[in-house]
A and B are shown apart, each in its own frame.
Chain A
Amino acid sequence: MNNGTLVRLVDVHKVYRTGEMEVAAVRGVSLEIKRGEFVALMGASGSGKSTLMNILGCLDRPSCGQYFLDNADVSGLDRDQLAEIRNRKLGFVFQSFNLLARTSARENAELPLVYSAQRLSNTQLREKADRVLASVGLAGREDHFPSQLSGGQQQRVAIARALINEPEMLLADEPTGNLDSRTSVEIMAIFQQLNERGITVIMVTHEQDIAAYAKRNVIMRDGLIRDDRLVTRRSEAKAQLQNGREAAEPI
């Protein structure tokens, strides 16, 4: 694992056209993220953080400016090429989990492999999904449907799905937005554990205490980065969970 630059944004703009009006959601952002970082992207709604997240996640292309992911310029790629990058290098976790209904946890976790270039047998597919589900603490629940799982468990399935292709970078959009505080800490524990294993994590949140689990906070306002600082008093989710009282009321 080299510790070089994973993400480099150079003067990225994103302009939306709604009828006659042009709305600039991102207005010149330059940002560098190294491998192994845990970044919380913060800002009020309308600050452009979601737009920036979509660009980082290769779901959207910048109107102008450049985006280097893993030293390759991805700002000019077409839809299919971006889909392949998402499949190979990125994992997504959403606020509302976005699991496929009436589909088992295992099949949800397998989903990215269905679209993967690598050919695995059904047995390999199954073993891989079960291994990843076990790593997020869902061993024994592989055959459960999302409707039979709690919110925290559903988000773990989503994390397993994001991890199954061994991505370079995990992108989480308000991952704790629909969870209670204890479950949120559990999810943060997973994120911190993954980050320690070397996976780069970028997380959008508007909650200060969630951002405190990250190593670095980037704060946006009006389409620009207003603040970019390292977290000095970082929260340790694992420690909080071991101390049950504290976990019930996180900082």
Chain B
Amino acid sequence: MRITPTFNVAYRALRRNKMRSVLTALGIIIGVGAVIAMVGIGNGAKAQVEAQIASLGENVILIFSGSTTSSGIRTGWGGAGTLKIEDAEAIRREVPGVIGVSEEVVSTTQVAAGNQNWFTRIYGESADYFDIRQWPLADGAPFTPQDARSANKVCVIGRTTATQIYGNENPIGQILRIKNVPFTILGVLTPKGLSPQGVDQDDIVVMPYTSAMKRVIGGTTLRNINVQIGDPRQIEAAQQQIISLLRQRHNIRPGRDDDFTVRTQQEIAEAATATSRVMTVLLGAIAGVSLLVGGIGIMNIMLVSVTERTREIGVRMAVGARGNDILTQFLIEAVTLSSVGGVIGILCGIAASRVLSIYANWPTLISISSIAIAFLFSAAVGVFFGFYPARKAAQLDPIEALRYE
């Protein structure tokens, strides 16, 4: 059978009932548009969370001190103080693939300079910290491994801290008093914005961990150790090696629980994006239902069309159309409706998500794959819901069809 005339027949049949075709396609337009917009919103939220997680650094393994029980009172993670500086050094020495280790201690305290003061967070870190967290300095220079070895009174500060204490003045080279210890400011970090938990990451003072432990916070244990692995494929092996190394160093007998916790950045990211993934699936599913309803609309109209054109089908059969020719003709009609609706729906969906991201300030992300899937799905809806009416037409008895009033 000839294909071009078949397309012409379908086109003419759709044009003959313009209003009906437009309304039927509208069902698909709304369905596909909703899928595109909803999945765009979900993916946008997911991408935002992922970007925030990525700001923790790449290929990072975090090791936290365990909890401890003292007089029946259990502390949280990091409370036990089970991680020693020597543990970090052993990891640096013995675990293959490690390219950076930062011993971390954290505290909050009042800092002052001149007549200004500010309550901020103090992070004690090694010189690797800035590479691990991919956090370059906006101005000045970071402290060096030598500063860490000598517990020098130097620090770098975040943008928020800098603004709060020095205003528009250049803080580099200035003295910042932390618990009455004078620290020289070496640099200012690039602004990082809010963390996934809503904490201002730029409200910070970072100094060598040795200086923090000796001069500011006190204590001999680390809150956590940040480890960066060079090759992402080695992360899992490194995680296992860190666990067995620390168990051995802490003399934990087999069968006993670890007194520390090891988390990869991957695990943290997965937990954080799980919610937005569920949201994407839910939004997509709801939108998918409207696409389904659009498909039923197509089936409805195709059934009406088959009934209306019973005589035409009879004539076509009498002059030699086979069942397959009739089937193809009606399927092309249904698929034309659904895929034209699909294309318009994709455009509407993109427009809708643009409007949402501009006016409601929601992040949206429309991927080529979601467009391709939406289009293929709408065409498939046409085939699926067009098939029953088309088969009904193809199976008509030519004599009955010719006699149909």
Pick the residue among A100, A115, A122 that contacts B320 (CB under 8 A).
A115
Contact of B399 with A115 in the complex, beta carbons under 8 Å: no
Contact of A79 with B319 in the complex, beta carbons under 8 Å: no
CA distance A238 to B324 in the complex (A): 43
Distance in angstroms from B394 CB to nearest chain A CB is 10
Distance in angstroms from A13 CB to nearest chain B CB is 17
Given contacts A59-B398, A60-B399, A98-B311, contact A112 B320 (CB under 8 A): yes
Among A88-120, those with CB < 8 Å from B are 88, 92, 94, 98-100, 102-103, 110-116, 119
Q: Which residue of A lies closest to B324 (CB)?
A: A80
Among B311-333, those with CB < 8 Å from A are 311-312, 314-325
Contact of B12 with A114 in the complex, beta carbons under 8 Å: no
Q: Which residue of A lies closest to B312 (CB)?
A: A100
Residues of B within 8 A of A57 (CB): 318
Contact of B322 with A79 in the complex, beta carbons under 8 Å: yes
- Using a Cβ cutoff of 8 Å, how many contacts connect chains A and B? 64
Q: Which residue of B lies closest to A88 (CB)?
A: B320
Query: A60, A84, A100: which has the most chain B beta carbons within 10 Å?
Result: A100
Contact of B323 with A92 in the complex, beta carbons under 8 Å: no
CA distance A112 to B5 in the complex (A): 12
Query: A83, A110, A111: which has the most chain B beta carbons within 10 Å?
Result: A83
Distance in angstroms from B401 CB to nearest chain A CB is 10
Among B283-320, those with CB < 8 Å from A are 311-312, 314-320
Contact of B12 with A98 in the complex, beta carbons under 8 Å: no
B402 within 8 A of A: yes
Contact of A83 with B321 in the complex, beta carbons under 8 Å: yes
Distance in angstroms from A141 CB to nearest chain B CB is 20
A184 within 8 A of B: no
CA distance A86 to B320 in the complex (A): 5
Residues of A within 8 A of B318 (CB): 57, 59, 86, 92, 98
Given contacts A54-B399, A114-B5, contact A98 B314 (CB under 8 A): yes
Query: B315, B323, B324: which has the most chain A beta carbons within 10 Å?
Result: B315
How many chain A residues touch B (CB < 8 A): the figure is 29
CA distance A54 to B2 in the complex (A): 27
Contact of A86 with B16 in the complex, beta carbons under 8 Å: no
Residues of B within 8 A of A87 (CB): 319-320
B1 within 8 A of A: yes
Among A169-191, those with CB < 8 Å from B are none
Contact of B1 with A114 in the complex, beta carbons under 8 Å: yes
Contact of B12 with A83 in the complex, beta carbons under 8 Å: no
A215 within 8 A of B: no
Distance in angstroms from A117 CB to nearest chain B CB is 9
Contact of A115 with B16 in the complex, beta carbons under 8 Å: no
Distance in angstroms from A62 CB to nearest chain B CB is 14
Distance in angstroms from A208 CB to nearest chain B CB is 25
Contact of A115 with B315 in the complex, beta carbons under 8 Å: no
Residues of A within 8 A of B323 (CB): 79-80, 83
A161 within 8 A of B: yes
Contact of B319 with A102 in the complex, beta carbons under 8 Å: no
CA distance A99 to B402 in the complex (A): 11
Pick the residue among B4, B12, B314, B321 that contacts A115 (CB under 8 A).
B321
Distance in angstroms from B149 CB to nearest chain A CB is 87
Given contacts A59-B398, A94-B402, contact A84 B319 (CB under 8 A): no
Pick the residue among A79, A110, A111, A113 that contacts B315 (CB under 8 A).
A111
CA distance A117 to B380 in the complex (A): 30
CA distance A88 to B321 in the complex (A): 11
Distance in angstroms from B330 CB to nearest chain A CB is 15
Residues of A within 8 A of B5 (CB): 110, 114
CA distance A92 to B401 in the complex (A): 15
Residues of B within 8 A of A79 (CB): 322-323
Given contacts A94-B402, A114-B1, contact A102 B320 (CB under 8 A): no
CA distance A196 to B322 in the complex (A): 32
Given contacts A98-B314, A100-B315, A114-B5, contact A83 B399 (CB under 8 A): no
Contact of B398 with A111 in the complex, beta carbons under 8 Å: no
Distance in angstroms from B182 CB to nearest chain A CB is 92
Distance in angstroms from B310 CB to nearest chain A CB is 12
Residues of B within 8 A of A115 (CB): 1, 316, 319-322, 325
Complex A-B: 11 CB contacts under 8 Å: A59-B402, A80-B324, A83-B321, A87-B320, A94-B402, A98-B402, A100-B315, A103-B12, A111-B319, A115-B1, A122-B4
Q: Which residues of B does A touch, CB under 8 Å?
A: 1-2, 4-6, 12, 16, 311-312, 314-325, 398-399, 402
Contacts A88-B320, A100-B315 supplied; 20 other A-B pairs, CB < 8 Å: A54-B399, A57-B318, A59-B398, A59-B402, A79-B322, A79-B323, A80-B323, A87-B319, A94-B402, A98-B402, A102-B16, A110-B5, A111-B316, A111-B319, A112-B319, A113-B2, A114-B6, A115-B322, A115-B325, A122-B4
